[in-house]
Amino acid sequence: MGKKIKIQPISVESFKPYGDILDCSGSPDKLINNNFCERYHDKALLDFQSGRAGISIFNATPRDLPYECNMLERHPDGSQAFIPMSENPFLIIVASNCVSEKPTNPLAFITNSGQGINIHKNIWHGVLTPLTHPGLFAVVDRIGPGKNLEEHYLENSLTVVLS
């Protein structure tokens, strides 16, 4: 068993250093379609180097808690948005890179139903971890040449717990 980290609820403020929350909180920016539809406009900082935006579908195996995490990754060339194609909350692990280029101060968040997230370019994060079936997500990330992936295996794994 590695270092324990408790899952915290996500908020705009707490998630700000790592990325954006994609949801319909607050007031809509625009009412469209004869007021039948609220538009919450341009919620994600999409940031791609030497590439372009694309939409891929990820089908991930749901995980159980406590969840053992031994690797964090980051994408130096682009942001990565995860949009759940279900109403299920999912787990997110992120870390800072204040000290050296290694991930430090890992945090675990759980989304609310109806929220996607966009992880900013070069931010350390865990792999996609749904907690419930189906683990189906639309992913908006960089399509382009090169590896765009850096992996860091943790000396001491993280054990992510609910409380």
The footprint of a copy of itself (CB under 8 A) covers 22-24, 28, 32-34, 36-44, 46, 52-61, 63, 81, 83-87, 114, 116, 118, 127-128, 134-136, 138-140, 143
Q: Which two tokens stand for residue 16?
A: 């700000």
| Nearer Cβ to a copy of itself (95/128) | 128
| Nearer Cβ to a copy of itself (81/158) | 81
Rounded to a whole number, what is the largest CA-CA distance in the chain?
Answer: 56
| Nearer Cβ to a copy of itself (40/96) | 40
CB 74 within 8 A of CB 150: yes
| Nearer Cβ to a copy of itself (98/150) | 150
The least distance separating a copy of itself from the CB of residue 160, rounded to whole angstroms, comes to: 15
CA distances from 131 to 24, 57, 87, 99 (A): 22, 17, 12, 31
Q: Phi and psi at residue 12, in whole multiples of 5°?
A: -55, -45
| Among candidate residues 56, 81, 22, 45, the one with its CA nearest the CA of residue 143 | 56
The least distance separating a copy of itself from the CB of residue 139, rounded to whole angstroms, comes to: 8
The least distance separating a copy of itself from the CB of residue 32, rounded to whole angstroms, comes to: 8
The least distance separating a copy of itself from the CB of residue 138, rounded to whole angstroms, comes to: 4
CA–CA dist 81, 124 (Å, integer):
14
